[in-house]
Structure 1
């Protein structure tokens, strides 16, 4: 699926390549495990065809496994570790209806803002007795206030009429950004799907749209995909 998406989008992306500035920006890239490397390659090729001036600093984390995991099948969540390390407290997840795709609800256009560092993400856990583990859901006034302020500011900046701060969300092919005061991390919100890794069945849409979200939200200027060329071409290939 990743290969098919590349073939469909790349010709159009090349046509709109002149929109970007020549200033190269460095972006850390973590392909991850499972289907991660193949969907990452798909997005890189599309960005390359569009001549997005990004230099990737790729980081290999395939050797990192969860503690006490002798099987090698499980992995520590490096995503959560990065959120904690860089205090990426606001998770931004847009969800919008697509023309031609019938879903349970019509005309959906919402952006969920989720607190990213507390609650179930606090990581305060301990074993009370053998087989019984307690997890503390920590919530502070400071963290609650700052994510609420972020959400209302986001609504003002994007001219949205209603604001919702939510503690939990499930995503599939939609983008996701984790935002802090001094950095941001953009990701696909699905799992690593090791069962289909290497079979060209993985859909790179979520990662592609997260990449476009990165251009719009963090890099700014002419790099912000202002005419929406990458996103527009994706909409025309969404049925694959």
Structure 2
């Protein structure tokens, strides 16, 4: 399930370090106003057995302005989307965004014009093709040395050795988080886009992550595929990574 927010702005561009990063804060501020207990629980513990943040979001997009090299252009009417398979989250966001006139997107004022709840596709065939509009990032699993020392897994880019294994693991963990089991399979990676880095924030930290948009084919129970469509795929979806084109 997604909440599509129609927005408008007089700004002509959004600074690159504010394209994705503000979404996480906008999400938690909305929950704090509408369902503070739910927001505090998610912020502290995540969701489900793996403690994953149970939501994702897009960057604001504006179809009218012409692209300009080196700039993330804005202006006129556009959209920004938030998604989660947890209905209470979407309900809280929808209520909040209908009571505030403007979203503060890292200093860019986005006027809220309307909100629309969008249900996921049925995925009745048990297969889905997901293309991300934002870069995707995944992290390899941690390993142990013979002495028992834990070596943290490194972040992997699409096309690097081990990426498909790490993405398969990430997809299964996400489906387990929402109670859909682990019977989900990455069938293939059909496209890899250009590498890009975006700023991320969370738990008092700021930094940049590098990734690349991709298209993948996944098979599994329809409800599991709907959860992936709702939150995005890969890691750091709460920071806007891995958002799937509707």
Under a length normalisation based on structure 1, what TM-score does the superposition of the two structures give? 0.28
Structure 1 or 2: more helix by fraction = 1
Structure 1 or 2: more strand by fraction = 2
The higher relative CO (CA closer than 8 Å, separation ≥ 6) is in 2
Under a length normalisation based on structure 2, what TM-score does the superposition of the two structures give? 0.28
